[in-house]
Amino acid sequence: MNREDKSTILITCAKGLSEILSGEIAALGYAVDSIHETGVEITGDMYDCMKLNLHLRTAFNILYLLKHFECRNPDQLYKQTAALPWEEMILPEEYVCVIGRIETPTIENTMFANLKIKDAIVDRILQKTGARPNSGKERGNAVVQAYWKGEKCWIYLNTSGQKVSDRNYRKIPCKAPLRESLAAAIILTTGYDGSQPLICPMCGSGTLPIEAALIASRRVPGLMRSNYAFMHTLLYDEDAWQQMRAEALKQSKKRGKAGFIPAPIIATDIDPECVRSAQRNAMTAGVDHLIDFSVCDFAETPIEPDAEGIIVMNPEYGMRLGEIEELELLYARIGDFFKQKCAGYTGYIFTGNPQLGKKIGLRTSRKIPFFNASIECRLLKYEMYRGTRKKKNAAIENE
């Protein structure tokens, strides 16, 4: 087994993000083989896995396919798994975690299938080396992932371990924070590249402005993290990894430190606790110098008049009765704010409640579907034109 061996690489993501993820992968120079609801496939080797872990903003895990086989029962699962050269991938002094997803009538218990795979791996390593690795649920070491569907089974090396979307900068989450990969996907969907002002009222723990600042300064997100599952395999090339990191750092500095300052990024929230946590999180991410934070009602957010830019908001979309009435008023106020103060800007509202979205009372130019965990959401886009187009487009939705 070699680092240069080419295989299928499955890059997983949250439901609804695979088109955006595919765009990111293509921008890194890869040909995309296929796009699924929760993932994208390419062909590549271990070096590609390392690069994808380092660069991708909207992915969950980077999975390197080891084997794909017919599997009708747990014995076949054991035999096929044990036939892989695990001693060439995992040292006996390592720790292995096996995770699996089972969609087969053959067995019901995912734990049992995982156990079979784990036994096959450690038995093989014991037989070949005289010692066996420890195993358990901890994902900070070598990770093997299986997907058994019907009579087919896929065994992957999970090269990420922890999701790459867990960027580690959000030490203090505030109310209902967005997952970093979802916030990055929202920002990428707006077309933001740092050249135009970005306003984030209701910033909460700051995920949207922080992801925007990382994008604007070309900061490679994987630089914030020091441990990946591939580092715990014999397929890890540390020199190559250090070189990839150095190149990524240079790319970031070119825009980040050597004089590049993006157009203003403004983040506000009515809750001083949230603003404090957002500032701390931005500091951890190394982008606090690129964001102007302040405490205020969203309608008081400083918006430069007669300018152009992007406004992104993620108001609460409460599920409890009673909350809804209050939120209806809040959404109606957002509509007034857009109409009265934001001419020339493009506004985006991320919400999981389409009925509340209607209370904004302005005509959307796009409604982009997303998922926040299992909740179907929409990113509502509003163009606030100045002059005659403004009058035409900011018309009341049901007129």
Ligand X SMILES: C[S@@+](CC[C@H](N)C(=O)[O-])C[C@H]1O[C@@H](n2cnc3c(N)ncnc32)[C@H](O)[C@@H]1O
**Which residues would be at the binding site for ligand X (CB under 6 A)?**
174-178, 183, 201-202, 204-205, 207-208, 269-271, 274, 297-298, 314-316
Question: Which of residues 120 and 200 has its CB atom nearest to ligand X in the complex?
Answer: 200
Residue 379 and residue 369: Cα distance in Å, rounded?
Answer: 6
Tokens representing 216 are 């604007």
Tokens representing 392 are 């035409």
Question: Which of residues 227 and 355 has its CB atom nearest to ligand X in the complex?
Answer: 355
Least Cβ distance, residue 170 to ligand X (angstroms): 8
Least Cβ distance, residue 338 to ligand X (angstroms): 14
Q: What is the DSSP letter of 224?
A: G
Least Cβ distance, residue 167 to ligand X (angstroms): 12
Phi and psi at residue 228, to the nearest 5°: -130, 155
Residue 269 and residue 265: Cα distance in Å, rounded?
Answer: 14
Question: Which of residues 103 and 376 has its CB atom nearest to ligand X in the complex?
Answer: 376
Q: What is the DSSP letter of 39?
A: E
Minimal CB distance residue for ligand X = 204
Specify the residue for token string 């096929």: 80
Residue 351 and residue 41: Cα distance in Å, rounded?
Answer: 30
Least Cβ distance, residue 226 to ligand X (angstroms): 24
DSSP three-state, residue 27 = helix
Question: Which of residues 177 and 335 has its CB atom nearest to ligand X in the complex?
Answer: 177
- Beta-carbon contacts of residue 92 (< 8 Å; ≥ 6 apart): 125, 126, 129, 130, 131, 132, 133
How many Cα neighbours within 13 Å face the side chain of 221? 27
Handedness of CA 40, 43, 49, 54 (dihedral sign): negative
Least Cβ distance, residue 321 to ligand X (angstroms): 18
Question: Which of residues 9 and 377 has its CB atom nearest to ligand X in the complex?
Answer: 377
- Beta-carbon contacts of residue 246 (< 8 Å; ≥ 6 apart): none
Least Cβ distance, residue 314 to ligand X (angstroms): 4
Least Cβ distance, residue 323 to ligand X (angstroms): 11
Residue 184 and residue 155: Cα distance in Å, rounded?
Answer: 29
Question: Which of residues 5 and 376 has its CB atom nearest to ligand X in the complex?
Answer: 376
Least Cβ distance, residue 339 to ligand X (angstroms): 17
Residue 58 and residue 370: Cα distance in Å, rounded?
Answer: 13
Beta-carbon neighbour count of residue 118 at 10 Å? 19
Question: Which of residues 158 and 207 has its CB atom nearest to ligand X in the complex?
Answer: 207
Least Cβ distance, residue 302 to ligand X (angstroms): 13
Question: Which of residues 46 and 334 has its CB atom nearest to ligand X in the complex?
Answer: 334
**Order of strands, edge to edge, in the sheet holding 142-149?**
34-36, 39-44, 7-12, 62-70, 152-158, 142-149, 95-103, 134-135
Question: Which of residues 84 and 183 has its CB atom nearest to ligand X in the complex?
Answer: 183
